[in-house]
Each structure stands twice: as structure tokens, then as C-alpha cells.
Amino acid sequence: MKASAIVAHGGFEGLRYIDLPDPQPSQKEVVIRVCACALNHLDIWLRKGIPAYRLELPHVPGSDVAGEVVAVGDGVTNVKVGDKVIVNPNLTCGECEWCRMGEDSMCDSFGIFGAKCWGGYAEYAKVPARNLIPMPENLTFEQAAAFPLTFLTAWHMLITRAGLKPSERVLVVAAGSGVGVAAIQIAKLAGAFVIATAGTDEKCERAKALGADAVINHSRENIAERVKILTDGRGVDLVFEHVGHEVFERCLASLAKGGRLVTCGATTRPTASFDIRFLFSRQLSIIGSMMGRTSELLTIVRLVSEGKLKPVIDKTFPLSEAVKAQEVLESRNFFGKLVLVP
């Protein structure tokens, strides 16, 4: 099969369009023909190489996949050849204490599809059968690939970890990112007042079109100062943050007393400094979050199939142009998801 695989860690030259053996399903596994695979920032970390993921090269990245079942291994009963499916990116043992509590992303051997095993930057992908979910009928393959990981991450952050309540005021940082477009929609669905930040006026307009009640162009406005103006000096109840170093302190400064900051990702630098006195005197909370539960993903799939949440695609690329797609992802010059089509 053709694949855009990581052959060496480092720059874009480490991602190459090459031939790899076709995958064969083992017991309780399925092979799907990949019809679309969305990019995530994780793909860039995998290419560059990070300690959390020790990869055997070549490695096929790609965590968000929609496709068609072409082969099933022994013992597979939940899908059959020809079924259109999406892939739940949570790879779990199903047996540890955390799995039994339904806390997938805390599984002792947790991994993400496309990181722990080969993913969707290829014509075919091998997937554990229990990770397949029927594809919503109202979506194209590209749309179906463009929501699982980011909507799951945003849902777990806003609803489960941060306990967002109706009428609360939320600041969504970097609205044009994959998790940003998900967070705006989820927060609106939850009844919140949403302030979104983006780096260009065009992205601010698109954030408004998605439902944001107010927008901040962070390339020329101070986020914390603007939030204070938009909230009559009070600040927001919740900050949805995934950029890290570049904005962390300003995000904390945007919080109302008793406010929460929920974070994942750290796409700029992973360290941040802040005044601890500011944290305790204003009784703030910083909440970590990563991926989410399969039960949450099933809720999201239902809401997407009902049209209440919508995947947002900026651009699609042929699989052979994965480098070009990753260049756009690193440039931040996009709104929503970038999708590869084999």
C-alpha cells in the first residue's frame, strides 16, 4: 500500500510517501480502506520525535480516520466487510482499574491510534474491531474523519473535567484550531457565553459564524484586558486553553474569582510561569485534561449525526501531499481541520 510515513525524526523531509506492506487483520482486528484521515498536532510531534512516543520507524501517523471495512479477523462480530466506519482513537486494555471505571484516557496502557500503532496516513489501516463506530450517514468521509479526536478532547475538557454550566462565560483560545472549532460549538450547545480568540480578522469572523458571542484578535488585542471589558471587569468563569507557554499567564489573568482554566496540548512551549499568590488569592483552579472517554465520543457521534455539532474542514490534500498538509498545520494559517484523502 501507499503511505505517507515517518522514516526519520526531524523536519518535513522525515515524512515520505512510500510503499509499505498491506496490513492483515489478526484476531478481533479489522482492516479498513482509509477514505479520509484528518491531521492533528500530535502528527507533528510524532514526526519531530518526543520522549512520550518511542516509535519504530517507519511509522504511519494519523489518528482520525474514516473508511470502509475490507477485511475482518477471526472473532469479529460488530462489523462486516463494506461497513462505513470511523475509528475511536482511544487504544485501551479494557481491563485495568481505570478502564473498568470508564476512564479510557487514564488506562494504564493508554495509547492513541496512529501513535501507539500505525494510523491513517495510508491506503489501509488495521484497527481493533472494538474501536470501530458506525459512520454517521449524514457525513462525507472527509467530515467523518474531521471530528473524533478534537471533539472528544474538547468535550472532555469543557463538560467532564471543567464541568461547564449554562450561562457561564468561557474563553476559547485559538478558535481556528481543530479543538477550538469543537470547543466553540460544544460550549454554545451547553448554553455558555463564548468569547473566542484568533490571530486574524478572517478567523474571528469564522469563529462568530460558528457561534462565538464575542471575539478577540489576539494579534493586536491583549486577551486579558479585552476579556475584562467584555465581562464588565469580572473575567470569565472558564478558560479553554491548549496553546501553553504563549498565552498561559494571560489566560489566568482573564479568569473571574473562583474561575477554572482547563488545559491540554501546549502547542507552543510546555512550560509556563505564573504568580502562585494570584492563583490562591483569587481561588482559581487549573485542570489538566487529555483525550476523553469512549462514552463521550458516542454522545458526540450522536450529536454530529443530528447536526447539532458540525465538523469544520479547511482543506483536503491527496495522501501523497502529507508534507504540504503538515506545513499548513504548522503555519497556523487555516481554520478547522486539514484532511488527507488517499
Spatial separation of the C-alpha atoms in residues 211 and 88, rounded to whole Å: 27
Residues of this chain, 318-337, that bind Zn ion according to CB under 5 A: none
Q: Which is nearer to Zn ion, 292 or 342 (CB)?
A: 292
- Three state DSSP letters for the chain: CEEEEECCCCCHHHEEEEECCCCCCCCCEEEEEEEEEECCHHHHHHHHCECCECCCCCECCCCEEEEEEEEECCCCCCCCCCCEEEECCEECCCCCHHHHCCCHHHCCCCEECCCCCCCCCECEEEEEHHHEEECCCCCCHHHHHCCHHHHHHHHHHHHHHCCCCCCCEEEECCCCCHHHHHHHHHHHHCCCEEEEEECCHHHHHHHHHHCCCEEEECCCCCHHHHHHHHCCCCCEEEEEECCCCCCHHHHHHCEEEEEEEEECCCCCCCCCCCCHHHHHHCCCEEEECCCCCHHHHHHHHHHHHCCCCCCCEEEEEEHHHHHHHHHHHHHCCCCCEEEEEC
Nearest distance in Å: CB 115, Zn ion: 16
Measuring CA to CA, how many Å separate 253 from each of 197, 220, 232, 261, 269?
15, 17, 14, 10, 19
Nearest distance in Å: CB 242, Zn ion: 25
Nearest distance in Å: CB 319, Zn ion: 32
| Burial of 210 from C-beta contacts in 10 A (0-12 / 13-18 / 19+) | buried
Nearest distance in Å: CB 298, Zn ion: 18
Q: Which is nearer to Zn ion, 231 or 289 (CB)?
A: 289
Q: Which is nearer to Zn ion, 12 or 98 (CB)?
A: 98
Q: Which is nearer to Zn ion, 63 or 92 (CB)?
A: 92
Q: Which is nearer to Zn ion, 50 or 93 (CB)?
A: 93
Nearest distance in Å: CB 89, Zn ion: 15
Spatial separation of the C-alpha atoms in residues 97 and 116, rounded to whole Å: 20
Q: Which is nearer to Zn ion, 99 or 183 (CB)?
A: 99
Nearest distance in Å: CB 158, Zn ion: 24
Does residue 341 bind Zn ion (CB under 5 A)?
A: no
Nearest distance in Å: CB 43, Zn ion: 24
Q: Which is nearer to Zn ion, 99 or 238 (CB)?
A: 99
Q: Which is nearer to Zn ion, 92 or 263 (CB)?
A: 92
Number of amino acids touching Zn ion (CB under 5 A): 5
Nearest distance in Å: CB 25, Zn ion: 22
Q: Which is nearer to Zn ion, 63 or 105 (CB)?
A: 105
For 282, the grid coordinates are: 483569587
Nearest distance in Å: CB 296, Zn ion: 16
Residues of this chain, 83-142, that bind Zn ion according to CB under 5 A: 92-93, 96, 99, 107
Positions in the binding site for Zn ion (CB under 5 A):
92-93, 96, 99, 107
